[in-house]
Structure 1
Amino acid sequence: MALQPVEMYHYKDTEQPCSVLLQLNRLRQECIFTDVWLCSDNTEIPCHRNVLVCSSPYFRAMFCNNFMEKQQSKVVLKNIKPSILSIIIDYVYTGTASIHMDNVLPLMQAAAMLQYGRLFEGCSSFLQMQLSPDNCLSMIRLSEIMNCRSLHVKAKEMAMNSFSDVSASEELCELSLPELMGYLEDNSLCAEEEQVFETLVAWIHHDPRSRRGTISDLFKKVRLRYIHPTYLFQFIANDPLIQSSTLCTELIESVRRLMFSVSTKCINNTEFRNLWVVQRRYTCQDRLVVMGGRKNNEQTSREALVFEEKTQTWQKLATLPIRLYKAAYVALHSVLYVIGGLTTNAKYSQVTSTVYTLSLKSNQWRLTEPMLEPRFAHRTLSYLHFIFVLGGLGPDRRVTASVERFNSMFNQWESMAPMPEAVLHPAVAAANQRIYMFGGEDTMHNPARLIQVYHIARNMWSKMENRTVKNVSAPAAVIDDKIYIIGGYTRRMIAYDTKSNRFLKCANLKERRMHHSATVLNNHLYVTGDSDAFESYDPKTDSWTSKGSLPHNLFDHGSITLTSVQQT
């Protein structure tokens, strides 16, 4: 077949520019057609004006305008060492430069002066390769002196992401007050609030005479709302620096009153209100953790699994020391609590009052203060600095109406008013200073069509019958002012509006669920269990979305949202 004739062919020789540059460099080395010498100290380097003009705005301005250098055959470049000038001329003619720690700074300065932007960025790239938590603060200072944004961005990013290591360095103590304030108020700081406080204290103690007066300004940068109450009141409140500041002690006292009031709406001081409602730092991420339960409907599991959103995979955490059947799972202050349960082995079973805790930071299980009463198949929830434990089965295997709560400020349990009617497997949630308990089953295993409400501040219960309520083994979760009651031997989900005191019908689950669990993550409901599939619900669109699968089937487990500081 004959080829069609082409009217025009645009040919491009990619090797031609490199070849020309190579030949120009050979001419320079042999001093052929060179018409200017760049001088530094006693060193003279022959060059071609036209090559220099094409390579840099600096030389274009020098040789194409009415400057005296236009007529000179020798041009002296002050403040540039001969070795650095030689590297730059080689770069002009070859496009390459060897950068190392001994020459990077003077080379960067010369590149900036002579307006070789890409060489300047090459020096920046080399310095970025040297970044570490030990030198990132000095690199930030260097980037500001050199006006190098790319280095500044990377060094600041490392300082934020590795703040645990950076905060222990001597360089941090040398920061000025505005510089330190800039770090502590930055939302991208990768640090727990306790560490923020410890950092500012260390900074003040480095030069107490001149810095003591800054404690109140720095203390405002600590997000008190996200500090564990025990740390807040045992360590921060008793710190001599805090005690020396009237404003700091007033802030601590405001937090104390807020904690004891059980209400988040009783803040009168405007300045404190603004400090209290500040959002978490961006590096604090909520993560879905699935814990315990019966694995594949067989033996009780000791596994804790955390869902990695980016990779859509499940990662194993430390294994619980013992097997617990129908324990309760709850999160408080970024710590996972496993409370009570039934221990089983080949010989006997025992109802326990033990409490185990796990944080994502330590990934280690610890025994903490046990409950007042052993129980299993009970319900738990957290509210402010409290954990509430409701009902369940006691050592006699009978349904109990008893209620107790754990006060994390004092690390102790206390008995509370018992529920009006003892029920098993109700849906429970806390909102507006109240605990709402929906349905469940009575001692005769009949559905309890009632709502029991506990007023936390008054330690009082009330109850009301409601024919809409007929849930058994259904978890509940709160988003905004609505309590969602999810499944329970059914696909049905309803929402209770606490403001209007009425129920709303929601989209059904994709499949029938029982012995499952639910939690709130990023304003979405996440439901796990009864199969290996898990799904999420968006209240804005009233729709369910499949989120993949668990490593195995789970029943009677815990689904918890834990907050952790994530390095990017």
Structure 2
Amino acid sequence: MDSYSILYSSSHRTGLLARFQRLRSAGRMCDVVLETDGASFPCHRALLASSSDYFWALFGEATAERLACCVKLPALTPVGLDVVLDFLYSGWLRVCVRTLPDVLEAARYLQVDTAVSICERYITDNLSTENCCCYANLAERHALSDVLEAANFTIAREMATLLRERRDDLLGLNIQSLMVVLEAKEIPTVKEVELVKLALDWLGENGPLPLLQSNLLLSRLRFGLVAPVDLARLSHAIKAMGTPLIRSQVTRALEYHRTGSARPIRQNKQSTLRATNRVLLVGGCSSPDCPEQQVLTFNLKTRTFAPLTSCLPLRLRNHCVCSLGGFLFVVGGEVVSEADRKPVVTETSNQVWRYDPRFECWQQVESMLQRRTKFTCCATDDSIYAIGGQKTPADSNAPAATLASVEFYDLEAGAWRRGAPMPGPLHGHACAMLEQNIYVSGGLSDNSGAHLIPGQSQSRREVLCWDHVGRLWKNAAPMSIGRFGHRMASVHGYIYALLGMYEPFSDIERYDPGADHWTRLRPLITASFSYGMAAMPTGSVLVFGGRKWSDGQEVVLKSVLEYEPKKDQWREICQLPRPLTGTECTLLPVPD
């Protein structure tokens, strides 16, 4: 058998379509006329059948239209049919905002899938605040699932602008899109009460709906994020709010608001903010003795900082922070005031402040049993533990006393309870939670931390573990380095110990609880201390600011460092708006 080659010419198809287009323009050899709304389009039956599944079936051997000279298409507009026919004859689709609905209708009706795909891409690429509602309706009508998802996402992201400038577009939105948007986990800068008003206005504009549909719509609202006074007023707005299902949800929301101190452990979907976690940098300043009341939020995705709308009630240093149930708790520390324009530590505090990002408000809750500074705290599922630290004696001339005591805040009862004390007093230590056990490392057992100088630290290497089940303190393997004023982070089943004050090396180390063993890792880029630290859900560890020694002087830093445990690698990812030291960090869902 002779060998042969198969070669392809891309210009042949282009030339073929061009010749068909010339024949159509001249009205030559056309054997069928398509009519709609008084407009006629002479065409070639063979080309239509080979380009469209609709025409392939229409001109089949057993149909009445097989030999018909004229085919009426009353479902289509002349504009839509003309554009799709041009596409079949040329491969070019003319699309604009004005004609898109007609073109898409014609492409779907005539089953020209390639033209439909081009319309989908056009919509997705051109989604904006001005057209997202219109395009969502168009996508829902024609079952364009990918376009509908993109349009719904844009609506949720741009909801604040839509409510302010294009509310009528929202009131004309299809119910499926509105329900999807009201399920969104994040709707930036929009209060839930505004979403409730939107849903009620939409029902007033498009109702009455069947009971099942109105319940499905309203049940997607998060009534626990609406203030009780607004909730009581809106619950009587329309009849749909009085159905047994919605009335029970409103009642549960009002009960949630009355739970007081237990609110953080009474969380459910209806009281969960539509927001993602941000790192909160609480307190600190460019000078260790002059803490500020401002709270910064950090978005790791955009690597940007923004001030929280509400400031700390007090100027604090050596305080602790933690988050529980979507609430921020600021615990203890030293209260700093100004006298003759100079910072003065007025007292060691036992105060506890709770911040609710739902309503952007601070509330003072039950105070600790003991005043504490240079201590640690951590949150379990239903409690907050305060461990060790120092207290200021009544005699201001006497040295501060180091504490072994432990107490925990019982959120159910709204009261602090005494816990089992540590084997000995500690301050300047660090703690981390792992599998409901609390690990405490390093620190000092006396007051020498106040007089630490570089290279002469007597920091402890010992590690204690509070066994949550056995309710007792146990010894764990000691660190390889004595640390004071350091940080610990729990990541993916391991505990990482980071730098403390005046350590001779920059090493960090990792604790494996299964092997009860510490391993030294890559050193920190900068030998800093008094920094803020946060362990991210992704597994990375962030270090914010801090201080370091340079030419015999302390320098406050602006750097933000990221540590990737899987790669054992440090890198600087951005910088703080200003130098910052002494800040305390935690993760909290905060609206943009």
TM-score (normalizing by structure 2): 0.65
Q: Identify which of 218, 232, 236 aligns with 2:231.
A: 236
Q: Which residue does the alignment assign to 2:141?
A: 145
Q: Which residue does the alignment assign to 2:17?
A: 21
**How many residues are paired up?**
489
> For residues 410 and 167 of structure 1, what CA distance do their matches in structure 2 show?
21
> For residues 67 and 215 of structure 1, what CA distance do their matches in structure 2 show?
45
Alignment check: 8 A CA contact 1:216 1:247 kept: no
User: Which string of whole-angstrom CA distances, capped at 9 and with x for unpartnered residues, describes residues 59-95 of structure 1?
Assistant: 33334423344334x2323325556544433322211
Alignment check: 8 A CA contact 1:40 1:85 kept: no
Matched, 1:403 2:351: yes
Q: Percent identity?
A: 16
Q: Which residue does the alignment assign to 1:427?
A: 376
Structure 1 residues 198 and 523, CA, compared in 2 at 3 Å: closer, same or farther?
farther
Q: Which residue does the alignment assign to 1:317?
A: 306
SS of 2:21's equivalent?
A: helix
> For residues 19 and 13 of structure 2, what CA distance do their matches in structure 1 show?
10
Structure 1 residues 179 and 406, CA, compared in 2 at 3 Å: closer, same or farther?
closer
> For residues 536 and 135 of structure 1, what CA distance do their matches in structure 2 show?
42
Q: Which residue does the alignment assign to 2:428?
A: 472
User: Which string of whole-angstrom CA distances, capped at 9 and with x for unpartnered residues, describes residues 353-409 of structure 1?
Assistant: xxxxxxxxxxxxxxxxxxxxxx65444556566845425256674653543546869
Q: How does 1:71-220 map to 2 (within 5 A)?
A: 71-72=67-68, 74-79=69-74, 80=76, 84-127=80-123, 131-133=127-129, 135-167=131-163, 169-173=167-171, 180-187=178-185, 191-203=190-202, 220=219
| 1:16 positional shift | 2.9
> For residues 141 and 422 of structure 2, what CA distance do their matches in structure 1 show?
71
Structure 1 residues 305 and 550, CA, compared in 2 at 3 Å: closer, same or farther?
farther
Q: Which residue does the alignment assign to 1:221?
A: 220
Matched, 1:517 2:532: yes
Matched, 1:481 2:458: no
Structure 1 residues 144 and 381, CA, compared in 2 at 3 Å: closer, same or farther?
closer
Structure 1 residues 102 and 114, CA, compared in 2 at 3 Å: closer, same or farther?
same
Structure 1 residues 36 and 300, CA, compared in 2 at 3 Å: closer, same or farther?
same
Q: How does 1:289-328 map to 2 (within 5 A)?
A: 289-290=280-281, 293-295=284-286, 306-310=297-301, 313=303, 315-318=304-307
User: Which string of whole-angstrom CA distances, capped at 9 and with x for unpartnered residues, describes residues 254-301 of structure 1?
Assistant: 214433556837xxxxxxxxx8256957x6211224465354989978
Q: Identify which of 12, 30, 33 aligns with 1:38.
A: 33
| 1:30 positional shift | 4.5
Q: Identify which of 562, 580, 583 aligns with 1:557.
A: 583
SS of 1:338's equivalent?
A: coil
AA matched with 1:448: L
Q: Which residue does the alignment assign to 1:325?
A: none
Structure 1 residues 93 and 8, CA, compared in 2 at 3 Å: closer, same or farther?
same
SS of 1:153's equivalent?
A: helix
AA matched with 1:65: E
Structure 2: give runs of 5+ residues left out of the alignment.
338-343, 393-398, 444-458, 478-493, 502-528, 548-558
SS of 1:435's equivalent?
A: strand
User: Which string of whole-angstrom CA distances, capped at 9 and with x for unpartnered residues, describes residues 20-42 of structure 1?
Assistant: 3223333444555x251324277
| 1:427 positional shift | 0.6
> For residues 158 and 452 of structure 1, what CA distance do their matches in structure 2 show?
47
Q: Which residue does the alignment assign to 1:392?
A: 334
> For residues 217 and 12 of structure 1, what CA distance do their matches in structure 2 show?
56
AA matched with 1:236: L
AA matched with 1:287: R
Alignment check: 8 A CA contact 1:215 1:242 kept: no
AA matched with 1:419: L
AA matched with 2:436: D
Structure 1 residues 496 and 223, CA, compared in 2 at 3 Å: closer, same or farther?
farther
Alignment check: 8 A CA contact 1:439 1:450 kept: yes
Alignment check: 8 A CA contact 2:391 2:400 kept: yes
AA matched with 2:369: M
TM-score (normalizing by structure 1): 0.68
Alignment check: 8 A CA contact 1:403 1:419 kept: no
SS of 1:15's equivalent?
A: helix
AA matched with 1:556: G
SS of 1:317's equivalent?
A: strand
- Cα-Cα RMSD: 4.8
Alignment check: 8 A CA contact 2:310 2:361 kept: no
Alignment check: 8 A CA contact 2:284 2:317 kept: no
> For residues 185 and 256 of structure 2, what CA distance do their matches in structure 1 show?
22
> For residues 410 and 302 of structure 1, what CA distance do their matches in structure 2 show?
15
> For residues 293 and 386 of structure 1, what CA distance do their matches in structure 2 show?
16
Alignment check: 8 A CA contact 1:295 1:555 kept: yes
> For residues 64 and 453 of structure 1, what CA distance do their matches in structure 2 show?
81
